[in-house]
Amino acid sequence: MKKNMGTADQIIRLVVALVVLVLYFTSVISGLVATVLLVISGIFIATSIFGFCPLYAIFGLKTCPADKA
């Protein structure tokens, strides 16, 4: 897997995931909405850690800076 996510993209995804987690643990969100958002947050955390987003690969997107050769 070649990285296709830039640092800013990774940080934004982590921040969004952390906000969802805080909302869940403070019982602001619950039920089906909470479950869906927790799954999305898990995906955001995983893609941020690996620096690779499968949807970016499918659509040919890349937010990381160009490699210097």
Average pLDDT along the chain, 69 residues, taken 10 residues at a time: 90 97 96 97 96 92 75
Claim: this prediction has a pTM higher than 0.75: yes
Q: What is the pLDDT, as a whole number, of residue 67?
A: 62
In the numeric block, the tokens 């800013």 are attached to: 8
What's the maximum distance between 2 C-alpha atoms anywhere in the chain?
A: 50
- What is d(CA 21, CA 66) in angstroms, rounded to the nearest whole number? 33
Do you know the residue count of the chain? 69
